[in-house]
């Protein structure tokens, strides 16, 4: 840098060399500093706009990886939820039916969640709603899996007693086909033979001659033996276990006693017309978990498919009952 600058002297009408002062040097230094700072700022702005630092690129790669993992987890949760839904359908429609188990309670299979916000610490962050929704779905699947595990534990307990269960199901007719005159009345609304009004008939009436043998339809224990002159007349109730009970009414003779253990096919009494009855027949009822059910659904041990369909059709025909 030169140590002087040229200045035109208006009084003398000539140019002259004027040495730089300290203030000139300071002013020039400040201008150069401002220029350098401006160039540096422009360079930094340009670099930030069009180029990425290694640290930023690394962070962006991590964010992209985490987003892909969240999406993959969402797909996995979808697959797990779908598979669990199919397992639940099989549990209710097949497995529990095989063992005669009641449906698993809905409030236990799909328990709700109450209380305070469990994800408050995640709110307000980037992607927080997506993460919260995923965690809620995972928690729901976990609850459903726990409930399904409890359901399978019940079925495992039943399967360990499978032989006893199969022996307990009332799975044969209480009267031989060869002894039947006809299946007089089935389960459903029928005309009462005495009162002549339409009433619910809770069992099945098997018309047969007085003295025809009556068989226990499953293994169990005799829990009731009564001889009445109205209603069911002389009748027997057997508790088979696993929620099953059967009732045999209007007998002419009872051949068992209360507390006696019974095996399927054992003769427990003879057909009669005691109690409120208009002709010799056996009135037969099946109970499951304390509720009366259609006995026709349980005759699968000694009937062909064709015979079963015929019996089912006969049981559903509306006619007059014998009691």
Span 97-117, pLDDT tens digits: 666 677 778 777 776 665 556
164 has a pLDDT exceeding 90: no
For residue 272, what is the DSSP state? B
Burial class (CB within 10 angstroms; exposed 0-12, middle 13-18, buried 19+) of 238: buried
User: How many residues are listed for the chain in this entry?
Assistant: 323
The pTM of the full predicted model, rounded to 2 decimals, is 0.51
Band of pLDDT at residue 246, cut at 50, 70 and 90: very high
Q: What is the mean pLDDT of the chain?
A: 77
269 has a pLDDT exceeding 90: yes
Write out pLDDT tens, residues 166-195. 788 888 889 887 766 655 566 655 555 555
251 has a pLDDT exceeding 90: yes
Query: 58-78 burial, b for 16+ CB within 10 Å, e for fewer?
Result: eeeeeeeeeeeeeeeeeeebe
Q: Return the closest-CA partner of residue 170 out of 302, 323, 282.
A: 302
Cβ proximity of 172 and 302 under 8 Å: yes
Out of 118-122, 130-134, 271-275, 303-307, which region has the weakest mean confidence (pLDDT)? 303-307
- pLDDT for residue 195: 53
């Amino acid at each position: 840098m030169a140590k002087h600058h040229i200045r035109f002297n208006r009084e003398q009408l000539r140019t002259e060399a004027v040495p730089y002062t300290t203030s000139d040097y300071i002013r020039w230094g400040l201008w150069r500093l401002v220029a350098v700072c401006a160039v540096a700022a422009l360079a930094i702005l340009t670099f930030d706009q069009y180029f990425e630092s290694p640290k930023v690129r690394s962070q962006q790669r991590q964010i992209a990886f985490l987003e892909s993992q969240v999406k993959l987890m969402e797909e996995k949760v979808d697959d797990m939820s779908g598979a669990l839904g199919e397992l639940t359908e099989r549990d209710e429609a097949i497995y529990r039916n095989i063992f005669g188990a009641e449906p698993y309670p809905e409030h236990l299979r799909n328990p709700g969640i109450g209380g305070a916000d469990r994800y408050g610490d995640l709110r307000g962050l980037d992607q927080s709603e997506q993460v919260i929704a995923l965690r809620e779905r995972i928690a729901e699947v976990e609850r459903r899996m726990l409930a399904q595990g409890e359901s399978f534990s019940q079925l495992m307990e039943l399967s360990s007693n499978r032989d006893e269960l199969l022996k307990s199901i009332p799975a044969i007719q209480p009267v031989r086909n060869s002894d039947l005159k006809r299946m007089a009345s089935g389960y459903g609304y029928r005309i009462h033979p005495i009162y002549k009004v339409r009433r619910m008939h809770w069992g099945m009436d098997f018309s047969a001659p007085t003295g025809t043998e009556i068989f226990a339809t499953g293994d169990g224990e005799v829990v009731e033996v009564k001889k009445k002159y109205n209603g069911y007349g002389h009748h027997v109730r057997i508790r088979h276990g696993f929620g099953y009970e059967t009732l045999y009414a209007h007998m002419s003779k009872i051949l068992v006693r209360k507390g006696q253990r019974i095996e399927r096919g054992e003769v427990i009494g003879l057909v009669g017309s005691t109690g409120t009855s208009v002709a010799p027949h056996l009135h037969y009822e099946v109970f499951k978990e304390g509720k009366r059910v259609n006995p026709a659904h349980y005759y699968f041990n000694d009937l062909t498919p064709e015979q079963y369909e015929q019996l089912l059709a006969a049981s559903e025909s509306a006619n007059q009952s014998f009691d």
